[in-house]
Amino acid sequence: MKKITLSLLSVLFYLTTFAQTEKRIKIINILTKEPLENALLTLERQNKNLLADVKGEIILGSITATDTVLISYIGYETKTVIGYELGDNTFIELYPSTLSLKEVTIVSKAGASFSTISKIDLNLRPARSSQDLLRLMPGLFIAQHAGGGKAEQIFLRGFDIDHGTDININVDGMPVNMVSHAHGQGYADLHFLIPELVKNIDFSPGLYSAPQGNMAVAGHVNFNTINSLTKNTIKTEAGQFNTFRTLAMIDLLSKNAKLKNTNWFTAGEFLYSDGPFESPQHFKRYNFFSKFTSPISRNSFLTLQASTFTSNWNASGQIPERAIANGTITRFGAIDNTEGGQTGRTNFNAILKTVINKNSSWTDQLYYNRYNFELYSNFTFFLNDSINGDQIRQKEKRDIFGYLGKLEISKQWNNWNSKTIAAIGLRYDKTKDSELSSTRNRTETLQQIQLGDIKETNAFAWAEQSFTNNKWVVSIASRFDYFNFGYTDRLQSNLQRNNANAIVSPKLSVQYTLNTTTQLYIKTGKGFHSNDTRLVTANTTKKNLPAAYGTDLGVLLKPHQNLIINAAVWYLYLQQEFVYVGDAGVVEPSGKTRRTGADLSIRYQISKYFFTDANINYTQPRALNTAKGENYIPLAPTLSSVGGISYQSTKGFNGSLRYRYIKDRAANETNTVTAKGYTLADATVNYTKPKYEIGLVAENIFNAKWNEAQFNTESRLKNETTPVEEIHFTPGSPFNLRLKLSVFF
């Protein structure tokens, strides 16, 4: 009897003192063994929520052996464990499952709301192209106007961003934006990214993120690719306009290697399309990607990846409204059908993450990009040269070298978690023969307008300190950027010009979580975008790093277990909107601007398999120090919305019906010329089995006539004696179908 009593007392003592020791657990995908960042751990008795870090790890404080612990993650089965099952360095494996908004919990974590919503969208709306990936960002619209191979024109938060001037885009930490590009500042060609390889997207409007520097004024988009394949895939798609795409994703290592968290896979893609135009585009794109990940010691994890892509195409360009009205051409005809181009990019990326101790880590990243670009355009036809026409060639060869070193330190004081992140980095761009020339029919060079070599260096450092408890997140950050611009002018006896400048960008965000259904936040900060090296070195007295200042005030709500609402009002002021205009080789300063707006995002789960969502974005963009009625910002969007309904099931039928809408907007400063808005609807349906999937995609299902890219341009046709200023546009695709087949093994 005495022995039994002592045993019971021992058990009682164990149960009550079990959690006096700190425990570290790691949450992973049971199939791929990958860590699940932002997985949620809930301590029911303490009513406390904890989120996994980038390594999928959570450090537990005091728990008892009888505590109930829930581990959940969007798109995975929730797991329940009891306190005594958790030892130090315990692995919790979660099974992928049907998506459920019930699993989304509002918790205190900087940026968690946007990260969560991006995962929802990735699950509900599988992307078919890099363009589809960009469209996942609420309020972001794109337009293609040069045959499919040119980087898309981007619109966001009242900005006509051109091809990337005011949005920072990167893939696995490598920059997509090209500074001082032959076609335009910030040129962001994302076509090297295979959409099926994207694991998650970190995106946010505004200029509040310290890691994002140059170009991050309207917002940023960070794409992260998968580390491993759950299954090998062969996919084939075919559709109208002679469109054909094939994709292969193959695992290169055995299952035994995966058990050791070592993965290596490769993927290849080929795309061909003639498009709906009378002059076939003959658009061809080849993509290749390979990635290797493995622990190289107990505390170090290595990622190596390489990719390359090449594409070439013909284009019908932007056509004037009058040429269609008088019957010279049809909507899908061309004034100059010799436009087009070719481009290619090769990337090498190496990341080494080292755990220093249980509270700190250091990350080293080295990358190299090799880029080739050649583009032929004709925007004004015979305005400047009535004999040969106004076709131009923009061309460059570029090397980009980059390094990032980042230190992360986490500490805990009572109920507060402290996180310190500090980073240093360098990016060096070097171009060879950046060219702007007038040409004829691609075959003859008439005159070299600009020709030279660019060297642009961006050295930077940033630090962020955040404090978090169950209610509050306070984050203070600052970023320092130094630029050195150099240009060698080949048309002026190799004349060398240089300039340098620096800027400091402070950031502050405060987040307050009232409860599991309501979270308030305010963000404020300073951002910037650099200007083209050719402009900066030629105008040394002008400010070449125009600053922007912004504030967001928002709320994240979950009033029902199946409903998520994110609403925000915001303000943005930009000191100067002047950039190098590559098409003409000139500078067009437009002065100070102000933008105010409101964003609303809604996600609702109707039933286990049905989901609906809608994003509505309103903006009032205006130029300052300009007379009223003459202060419109050309092509800046004012009202847009995207949304739809989706049916998702792990097997059998699934699909979606989606719309996107953008309102008419001013095409010039006086709003006397209008860029027409449009409403489009797309649908997709799939039949999914473990070994295969068959799908049908219908784009523009109501066959709307819409203008994809639009510009107010002065031009002259060959038979005209005087120029005309009016809308020139690229017609959007009519109704078309595409069938796809995927095989898994």
Please classify residue 522 by burial: count the beta carbons closer than 10 Å to its beta carbon, then call 0-12 exposed, 13-18 middle and 19+ buried. Answer: middle
Q: What is the pLDDT of residue 14?
A: 43
pLDDT grade for 200, boundaries at 50, 70 and 90: confident
Q: Confidence band (pLDDT; 50, 70, 90) for 44? A: confident
**Is 211 a member of any domain?**
yes
Q: Write down the pLDDT at residue 8.
A: 42
CA 707 to chain centroid: 24
**Cα gap 45→150, rounded to integer Å:** 56
User: Do the domain assignments include residue 108?
Assistant: no
Question: Above 90 in pLDDT, residue 60?
Answer: no
- Both tokens of 594, joined, read 């102000």
Find tokens 């007392």 and name the residue.
Answer: 9
Same domain (yes/no): 160, 11: no
Q: What's the rounded Cα separation, in Å, for the pair 54 and 42?
A: 18
For position 587, what pLDDT does the model report? 60
In a domain, residue 121? The reply is yes
Bridge partners of 508? 476, 524
Q: Say if residue 471 is in the same domain as residue 554.
A: yes
The pLDDT of residue 538: 85
pLDDT at residue number 588: 66
pLDDT of residue 327: 93
The answer on pLDDT for 258 being more than 90 is no
Q: Residue 322: how many CB atoms within 10 A of its CB?
A: 15
Is 266 in the same domain as 329? yes
| Backbone phi, psi, residue 118, to 5° | -65, -35
| β-strand pairing of 283-295 with 724-731 | unpaired
Which residue range is the domain that position 12 belongs to? 2-97
Distance CA 93, CA 704 (A): 48
User: Which residue, 64, 97, 130, sits at the end of a domain?
Assistant: 97
Q: Is 587 helix (H, G, I), strand (E, B) or coil?
A: strand
Residue finishing a domain among 63, 97, 131: 97
How high is the pLDDT of residue 130?
A: 77
User: What single string gives the DSSP state of each residue in 355-415?
Assistant: EEETTEEEEEEEEEEEEEEEEEE-SSBTSS-TTT---EEEEEEEEEEEEEEEEEEEEEETT
Tell me, yes or no, whether 103 lies in a domain: no
Cα–Cα distance, 73 to 36 (Å, whole number)? 8
Quote the CA–CA distance of 569 and 313 in Å, as a whole number.
Answer: 42
Q: Which residue in the block uniquely carries the two structure tokens 């955040």?
A: 466
Q: Measure the CA–CA gap between 315 and 343, rounded to whole angstroms.
A: 14
Query: Once rounded to an integer, what is the mean pLDDT over residues 478-484?
Result: 97
pLDDT at site 270: 97
CATH number of the domain bearing residue 29: 2.60.40.1120
Confidence label for 18 from pLDDT (cuts 50, 70 and 90): very low
Strands 586-587 and 580-581, bridge-based pairing? antiparallel
Q: Are residues 90 and 124 in the same domain?
A: no
What pLDDT, in 10s, does the model give residues 411-421? 888 888 899 99
In this predicted structure, the answer to whether residue 16 has a pLDDT above a threshold of 60 is: no
Is 104 inside a domain boundary?
Answer: no
Say if residue 118's pLDDT is above 60: no
Same domain, 305 and 279: yes
208 neighbors 524 (Cβ within 8 angstroms): yes
User: Does residue 11 have a pLDDT over 60?
Assistant: no
Beta bridge partners of 368: 348, 401
Residue 33 resides in a domain: yes
Task: For the chain, give the mean pLDDT.
Answer: 89
Confidence bin at 503 (pLDDT 50/70/90):
very high
Q: Distances in Å between the alpha carbon of 28 and those of 52, 80, 90?
A: 10, 15, 11
Query: Do 238 and 261 contact (CB within 8 A), yes or no?
Result: no
3-state secondary structure string across 643-658: EEEEECCCCEEEEEEE
Q: What is the 3-state secondary structure (H, E, C) of 30-47?
A: CCCCCECCCCEEEECCCC
DSSP 8-state assignment for residue 85: G
In this structure, the answer to whether residues 79 and 122 fall within a common structural domain is: no
CATH of the domain at 497: 2.40.170.20
Burial pattern 375-405, b for ≥16 Cβ within 10 A else e, equals bbbbbbbbbebeeebbbbbbbbbbebebebe
pLDDT score of 639 more than 60: yes
30 and 167 within one domain: no
Are residues 494 and 384 part of one domain?
yes
pLDDT recorded at residue 542: 65
Residue 219: name the closest of 134, 126, 129 by CA: 134
Largest separation between any pair of C-alpha atoms in the chain: 113
Distances from the Cα of 730 to the Cαs of 185, 321, 346, in angstroms? Answer: 22, 10, 29
How far apart are the two ends of the chain, measured CA to CA in Å?
Answer: 61
- In single-letter form, the type of residue at position 147 comes to G
Domain identity same for 120 and 77:
no
Per-residue pLDDT reduced to its tens digit, 656-694: 999 999 999 999 999 999 999 999 999 999 999 999 999
Look at residue 183 and tell me if it is in a domain: yes
Is residue 310 predicted with pLDDT exceeding 60? yes
Q: Is the pLDDT of residue 479 over 50?
A: yes
Number of Cβ atoms within 10 Å of the Cβ of 612: 16
Residue 75 sits in the same domain as residue 129 = no
Pair 45, 121 in one domain? no
Q: What is the pLDDT of residues 150-184, one digit of tens each?
A: 999 999 999 999 999 999 999 999 999 999 999 98
Residue 102 resides in a domain: no
Q: pTM of this prediction?
A: 0.91
Residue-by-residue DSSP string for 227-284:
SS-SS-EEEEEEETTTEEEEEEEEE-S-HHHHHTT-EEEEEEEEEEE--SSSS---EE
Task: Report how far residue 41's alpha carbon sits from residue 207's, in angstroms, rounded to the nearest whole number.
Answer: 30
Same domain, yes or no: 170 and 272? yes
pLDDT at residue 589, as a whole number = 67
User: Residues near 149 by Cβ (< 8 Å), separated by ≥ 6?
Assistant: 191, 283, 285, 311, 312, 313, 340, 341, 342, 343
Number of domains in the chain: 2
Q: Domain boundary at 66, 97, 128, which?
A: 97
Average pLDDT score over residue span 609-615: 93
Q: How many CB atoms neighbour CB 67 within 10 A?
A: 20
